[in-house]
């Protein structure tokens, strides 16, 4: 692997943040975690991560904050973007964004890391 993989995870659920923290540690990748859309958007603009997984609903308001984060990540050129939700059935589709349940997101992350982000 040419560089340290940077993984940005956005979720307001502490249990999922802890689970992804453990996953990142086991995979040997750099992890930055955020709980709000505002924090995540600032981080995406500051340092383009290799992987972004965001919860669909961050509990900030009635909109689906995960869509805003996913679109910003795609526009910033992040190669791997996923919206993970408890149900896995968000109403919108965004080109280049994997929509899946939170349980599947951990497996997806591990597959990307094993093959290396530069291999697309």
pLDDT digits (tens, 9 = 90+) for 27-59: 989 899 998 889 999 999 998 899 999 988 887
Phi-psi region of 30 (alpha: psi -120 to 50; beta: other; left: phi over 0): beta
CA distances from 95 to 13, 61, 112 (A): 26, 24, 18
Quick check: pTM over 0.75?
yes
Record the tokens describing residue 37, joined without a space: 């859309």
Strands 30-34 and 6-10: parallel
* CATH fold group of domain 6-119: Rossmann fold (3.40.50)
Q: What are the residue ranges spanned by the domains of the chain?
A: 6-119
Rounded to 10°, the helix 102-115/14-27 angle is 20
Residue 113 to residues 64, 73, 79, 108, 110: CA-CA distances in angstroms? 27, 18, 12, 9, 5
Task: Give the tens place of pLDDT for each residue, 57-92.
Answer: 887 654 568 889 999 999 999 999 998 887 656 667
Q: What is the Cα gyration radius of the chain?
A: 13
């Amino acid at each position: 692997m040419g560089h340290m993989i940077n993984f940005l995870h956005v979720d307001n659920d502490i249990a999922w943040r802890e689970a992804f923290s453990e996953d990142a540690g086991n995979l040997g990748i750099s992890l930055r975690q955020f709980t709000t859309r505002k924090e995540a958007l600032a981080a995406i603009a500051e340092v383009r991560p290799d992987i972004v997984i965001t919860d669909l609903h961050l509990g900030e308001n009635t909109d689906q904050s995960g869509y805003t984060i996913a679109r910003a990540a795609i526009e910033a050129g992040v190669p791997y973007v996923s919206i993970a939700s408890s149900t896995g059935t968000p109403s919108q589709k965004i080109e280049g964004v994997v929509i899946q349940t939170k349980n599947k997101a951990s497996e997806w992350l591990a597959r990307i890391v094993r093959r290396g982000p530069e291999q697309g």
